Amino acid sequence: MLRALFWVSARRAYAQFYLGRYNYEKESNMKV
């Protein structure tokens, strides 16, 4: 149970980090 909760939170944090990096690269590409 605790491991599943940790896995979900880890995946959520990774998804937020990945989306943030994607949006950052997209905005930087649009500026250039």
The tens digit of pLDDT for each residue in 5-19 reads 999 999 999 999 999
| CA dist., res. 2 & res. 26, Å (int) | 36
| CA dist., res. 5 & res. 29, Å (int) | 36
Q: Where are the beta strands (DSSP E) in the chain?
A: none
Q: How many residues does the chain have?
A: 32
Predicted pLDDT of residue 10: 96
Per-residue confidence band for 32, with pLDDT thresholds at 50, 70 and 90: low
